[in-house]
Structure 1
Amino acid sequence: MLQLHTIKPNPGAKHRKKRLGNGESSGLGKTCGKGNKGQKARSGGTIRPGFEGGQMPLHRRLPKKGFNNTRFQDKILIVNLSQLERVFEAGATVDENTLRAVKLVQGPCDAVKLLGNGTLTKNLNVVVDFVSASAREKVTQAGGTVTVLSEA
């Protein structure tokens, strides 16, 4: 049976501390395993990652490639039907302001998209910028309406 006093570390899991500079016969005397002179023998003598000894580094030798538009992309926040079911009462109007009031939408955003994850049993009047086909179907089946601002 496993008990606290019988637990032992796996073989090879515990290492002895390196005692540096304690005589040549220790194997780590004099230069302490750092070799003779040079930058890597000095204190603080580490070379930054990617440094190739003055040769033009690989990340600068290779050409830039591709295009990145993330700074200018519209930030679309996603809301699921399961969240609306949990927060709103039947007959409520759901738009960006009411979503912000109940903290389902936070921070800056350009648009709100409704996705159909979950089930909806309440009739809600939803006003959003984008809506998935499954979400639109589930809202109308529950007796609610969907108004898409980008279409209006």
Structure 2
Amino acid sequence: MFQTLQKLRVMCFMFATTAERKVPPTPSNMPFTLNNLWDNPGARKIQKRWGRSGTRGNACGRGQRGQGARSGAGVPPKFEGGQTPLTRRLPKWGAKPSLEIYREVNICQIVDRIKQGRIDATQPIQIKDMLESRIFSKCKYGVKLLARGAERLSELNTPLTIEVSDASKTAIEAIKKAGGEVKVVYFTPLLLRQHLFPDKYPLELRPALPPSRAVEAIQRTEERGAVADYIKPKWVIEDEIEKKKLEEMAKLEVDTLKVQLQGAETVETAKKEKKKKKQKQQEEKQVSTLDLTNFKYPASREPGCGKDKIKQRKPVVYKKLSLNLD
């Protein structure tokens, strides 16, 4: 009997109005247990069911056909009716982040692996040796050497030669002090994969020509003190030739100055003689370019002095015609 009453109360609650639903559908003497839990009155709101009858029937508020009447229809809030959206109209600015993120390796990690016997310090330490010694598990673009734990190089008796993609200034200086060398090698992702896993590549790939951005980065590491090993493009070779020529010219100028100073009493006298020679050469050039035949300075400012310079019109010559009207 009690169960049937409870079922009736639930059925009445389902079909009751919102005003009647304020009281929970349970009797007051019912025990409060886990199988008799209910929400606070008004906590749950039943969804409207359109399209049954009444004012919201027939088209259910969707209108007469069209895009909005279809299932799954709707326009995203960023849609601007077909015109170019704001995200495309505004200009783009700012530096583009580099996707080539190098794997960072510290000197202390290499020293630890050498002490454990995983890396041979007598031979050049390559990126392949670092992967095999489990310093890192993955490497896609290259390795950058950092100077953390550089004091531990004194624990080793042999100087190190390390081949990496990039290195910091302090790391290069620390390895150089210990008698070693840092070599910068250029790898594309494919060439690096062949270097790390040579068994997967039966044929050796050709070394790649680095782009201008990579060349500039390698040149920066060379300025820090590293040795670079890469295929130099044509423009780099031309720049090096020009630098050598300029250095040779500078040396020749220094030698000529020394020879001149041997005959001169002081450096100042030699410089004064040079200046005089330059001035004479400039004066000779100016004289050669100017026509000094009809030139007088200062020019006279008297009235009527420029009659000769005024352009006159050519006189009009009329032809005589003789006509015989016989």
- In the TM superposition, 1:22-41 aligns within 5 A as 36=63, 39-41=67-69
Which residue of structure 1 aligns with residue 114 of structure 2?
89
Q: Which runs of 5+ in 2 are unaligned?
A: 1-33, 35-39, 185-225, 228-326
Shift of 1:127: 0.3
Shift of 1:42: 2.6
Which residue of structure 1 aligns with residue 167 of structure 2?
131
Shift of 1:118: 5.6
- In the TM superposition, 1:1-152 aligns within 5 A as 16=45, 18=47, 20-21=49-50, 36=63, 39-48=67-76, 50-65=78-93, 68=96, 70=98, 76-84=102-110, 86=112, 88-90=113-115, 92=119, 93=121, 94-103=125-134, 104=136, 106-109=138-141, 111-117=142-148, 121=152, 122-123=155-156, 125-129=160-164, 130-135=166-171, 146-150=180-184, 151-152=226-227
Q: Which runs of 5+ in 1 are unaligned?
A: 6-10
| CA offsets 1:102-137 (integer angstroms, 9 cap, x no match) | 34263432x421123467745372503333345457
Question: How many residues align structurally?
Answer: 135
SS at 1:18's partner residue?
coil
Tell me, in whole angstroms, the C-alpha distance in 2 between the residues paired with 1:55 and 1:24: 40
Greater radius of gyration (CA): 2
State the TM-score, normalizing by the size of structure 2: 0.30
Contact 1:79/1:112 (<8 A) preserved = yes
Larger RCO: 1 or 2 (CA < 8 Å, sep 6+): 1
Judged with a 3 Å threshold, the aligned counterparts in structure 2 of structure 1 residues 147 and 21 are, in CA distance, closer, same or farther, namely same
| CA offsets 1:44-95 (integer angstroms, 9 cap, x no match) | 112245321123322332345467484xx76533213454355x03284332
Query: Percent identity over the alignment?
Result: 27
SS at 1:148's partner residue?
strand
Tell me, in whole angstroms, the C-alpha distance in 1 between the residues paired with 2:105 and 2:46: 54
Judged with a 3 Å threshold, the aligned counterparts in structure 2 of structure 1 residues 114 and 17 are, in CA distance, closer, same or farther, namely farther
Tell me, in whole angstroms, the C-alpha distance in 1 between the residues paired with 2:110 and 2:46: 58
Contact 2:161/2:183 (<8 A) preserved = no
Judged with a 3 Å threshold, the aligned counterparts in structure 2 of structure 1 residues 84 and 21 are, in CA distance, closer, same or farther, namely farther
Query: Where is the helix percentage greater, Structure 1 or Structure 2?
Result: 2
